[in-house]
């Protein structure tokens, strides 16, 4: 028997891949939780097909889950060190994401002639056909082994193949199998009748690795030192939901969410609906328009009011958002972006809603637009969205995207006492004499908020223009111009209440990279690689887009060259051109539904340097 060697690695990328029904998302998430528990940094990429269920074994039906574990992990990785391919289609689709010496685990029971034909292989040697000549292969009889583990219906064997693969990966990465068992039990304890079989299957996969005669080295990833605290693995949608809950607590306002289900935003509504013990109210509306209008009504009644959606739904909500702008009612709109236009690619990620968020309404209709940059950052930005909406009585659009919404990272659970109180600008008795619905604080142009039923402050607001002095309906042209400017001024002045922009990297470099949203990890990885080549580059990554932080223009004007990186055809670049006089930039635009390719980006940066 060959001696099994152990490689010490800083980082490793694992990709689970198979049919949509093979449970790749399940075991990927369990493995990610396990790695985070063991002290590794993680970043994940669930990558599932747009089709609900393609034919088994077909190329279009391949579902994947990629995770990078280790230290200083910023992205899920461009290529995989380990690929679990449950069928030939998974191997073929993912061959381009492998290194020359990657380890490939296959279920050889699913690599028969008919399986190869379904994946459009023309020979019986898929590795040679794909020119995977130097990869390391573990061809395990996974289906056969799963059948031997069962004490009952053999139909369960096919469903358990993912669990066997999980056990094999735990062996390959020297992860304690006992802890993996605990995570499985926590995930599947409601289905106790299959737990025994699943436990045996997990151990069978682990033991198969131990007993194999393959001369393949196993890996050990050292744990990373973290700031003391409680950690959990969290995806962006759940973090967004928790940020809304925290804002409700700090504002002393009841949280109300009205939404219509849409991929990839629905999980926010589902998470909040499960938190009834916190007195959270959720309502699934009949359509996107209704959900926005219901949320506006709840806000008028004094709730912290939220509606969630993705690109097509944001378009439908446009008129209602305009009503909230005109009536100056606080409203949080969360847009989890996906590939468009129209239905597009619902399960793939893109940053193509920025211009819609900024300008996608009739008339002069300014709103606050902010973005989250990572799964864990979704918590903070959801909190910020609520804070700005409530304290400035305005709609706020929070842009996340499918990549960070479905992806996950290890998250240090914050101390809620470290977050500021959110203070609604309520009316007070001392302004009752002069008050009218659009009576404003002259410092920030925010009107004072009178909740229905407050004695002495009865009023009506709506979508018709109002007189700036009396709040009565007005059709006067000059008054309309004045109110348009006031509404814009209110948004512009919010720049004084948000953090200044920070610079990452070499402040004195000649080249500045600008990004926003979910590309943050990939840009950070890119400039890290650039620094290893002894080249200088700086990065600013925008959380706050409208208004921009006060120092953004000053920062940009310091640099000789600018490169804006985004997953669209240049929406942020065009926006900055409209806001900063003389702004000129190079652009890097990737719009293929996948995260930014760090290797290609590094090549582009080096060309500019």
Q: What is the percentage of the chain residues whose pLDDT exceeds 70?
A: 97
Instruction: Return phi, psi of residue 527, to 5°.
Output: -70, -25
- pLDDT, tens digit, for every residue of 321-366? 999 999 999 999 999 999 999 999 999 999 999 999 999 999 999 9
Q: What is the CB neighbour count within 10 angstroms for residue 363?
A: 11
CA distance 167 to 164: 5
Q: Which domains does the chain have, with CATH numbers?
A: 6-221 (3.40.920.10), 232-418 (3.40.50.970), 429-496 (no CATH), 504-608 (3.40.50.920)
pLDDT in tens, 454-474: 888 989 899 999 999 999 999
**82 has pLDDT over 90:** yes
- Kindly indicate the confidence band of residue 2, based on its pLDDT and cuts at 50, 70 and 90: very low
Q: Is 171 helix (H, G, I), strand (E, B) or coil?
A: helix
Average pLDDT score, the chain: 93
Helical ranges in 63-176 per DSSP H: 88-94, 113-118, 126-129, 142-149, 155-159, 161-172
| pLDDT at site 564 | 98
CA dist., res. 31 & res. 100, Å (int): 24
| 341 prior amide bond cis, ω within 30 | yes
CB 224 within 8 A of CB 68: no
What average pLDDT score do residues 25-43 get?
Answer: 91
State how far Cα 597 lies from the chain centre: 17
pLDDT in tens, 385-419: 999 999 999 999 999 999 999 999 989 999 999 99
Residues 570/577, Cβ–Cβ less than 8 Å: no
**211-257 pLDDT per residue, tens:** 875 567 778 887 776 778 888 889 999 999 999 999 999 999 999 99
3-state secondary structure of 530: helix
When computed from its CA atoms, the radius of gyration of the chain, rounded to whole angstroms, is 27
- Angle at which helices 195-211 and 161-172 cross, to 10°: 40
Which DSSP category does 140 fall into?
Answer: E
Residues in the chain: 609
Q: What is the pLDDT of residues 289-332, one digit of tens each?
A: 999 999 999 999 999 999 999 999 999 999 999 999 999 999 99
């Amino acid at each position: 028997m060959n001696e099994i060697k152990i490689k010490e690695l800083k980082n490793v990328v694992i990709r689970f891949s198979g049919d949509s029904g093979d449970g790749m998302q399940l075991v990927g998430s369990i493995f990610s939780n396990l790695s985070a528990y063991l002290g590794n940094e993680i970043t994940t990429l669930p990558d599932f097909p747009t089709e609900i269920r393609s034919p088994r074994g077909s190329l279009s039906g391949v579902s994947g889950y990629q995770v990078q574990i280790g230290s200083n992990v910023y992205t899920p990785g461009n290529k995989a060190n380990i690929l679990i391919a449950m069928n030939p289609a998974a191997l073929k689709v993912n061959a381009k994401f492998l290194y020359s010496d990657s380890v490939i685990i296959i279920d050889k029971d699913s690599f028969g002639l008919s399986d190869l034909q379904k994946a459009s292989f023309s020979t019986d040697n898929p590795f040679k056909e794909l020119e995977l000549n130097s990869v390391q292969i573990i061809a395990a009889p996974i289906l056969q082994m799963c059948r031997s583990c069962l004490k009952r219906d053999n139909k369960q064997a096919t469903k358990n193949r993912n669990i066997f693969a999980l056990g094999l990966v735990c062996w390959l990465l020297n992860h304690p199998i006992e802890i993996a068992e605990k995570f499985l039990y926590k995930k599947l304890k409601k289905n106790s009748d299959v737990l025994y079989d699943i436990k045996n299957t997990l151990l069978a996969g682990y033991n198969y690795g131990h007993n194999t005669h393959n001369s393949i080295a196993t890996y050990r990833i050292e744990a990373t030192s973290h700031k003391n605290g409680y950690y959990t693995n969290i995806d962006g949608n759940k973090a967004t939901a928790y940020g809304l809950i925290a804002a409700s607590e700090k504002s002393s306002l009841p949280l109300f969410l009205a939404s219509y289900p849409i991929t990839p935003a629905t999980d926010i509504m589902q998470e909040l609906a499960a938190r009834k013990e916190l007195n959270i109210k959720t309502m699934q509306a009949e359509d996107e328009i209704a959900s926005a209008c219901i949320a506006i009504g709840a806000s008028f009644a004094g709730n912290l009011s939220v509606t969630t959606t993705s690109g097509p739904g944001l378009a439908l909500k446009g008129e209602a958002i305009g009503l909230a702008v005109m009536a100056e009612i606080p409203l949080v709109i969360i847009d989890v972006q996906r590939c468009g236009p129209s239905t597009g690619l619902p399960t793939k990620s893109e940053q193509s809603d920025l211009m819609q968020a900024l300008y996608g309404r009739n008339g002069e209709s300014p709103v606050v637009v902010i973005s989250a940059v990572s799964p864990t950052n979704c918590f903070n930005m959801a909190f910020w969205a609520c804070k700005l909406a409530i304290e400035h009585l305005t709609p706020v659009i929070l842009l996340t995207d499918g990549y960070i919404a479905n992806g996950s990272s290890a998250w240090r659970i914050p101390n809620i006492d470290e977050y500021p109180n959110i203070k609604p600008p309520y009316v007070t008795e001392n302004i009752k004499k002069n008050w009218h619905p659009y009576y404003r604080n002259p410092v920030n142009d925010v009107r004072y908020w009178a909740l229905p039923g407050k004695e002495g402050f009865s009023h009506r607001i709506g979508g018709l223009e109002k007189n700036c002095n009396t709040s009565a309906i007005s059709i006067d042209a000059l008054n309309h111009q004045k109110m348009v400017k006031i509404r814009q001024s209110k948004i512009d002045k919010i720049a004084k209440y948000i953090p200044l922009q920070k610079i990452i990297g070499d402040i004195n470099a000649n080249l500045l990279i600008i990004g926003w949203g979910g590309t943050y990890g990939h840009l950070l990885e890119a400039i890290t690689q650039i620094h290893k080549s002894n080249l200088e580059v700086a990065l600013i990554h925008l959380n706050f887009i409208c208004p921009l932080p006060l120092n953004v223009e000053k920062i940009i004007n310091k640099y000789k060259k600018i490169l804006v990186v985004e997953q669209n055809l240049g929406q942020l670049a065009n926006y900055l051109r409209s806001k900063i006089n003389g702004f000129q930039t190079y652009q890097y635009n990737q719009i293929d539904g996948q995260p930014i390719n760090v290797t290609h980006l590094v090549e582009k940066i080096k060309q500019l340097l």
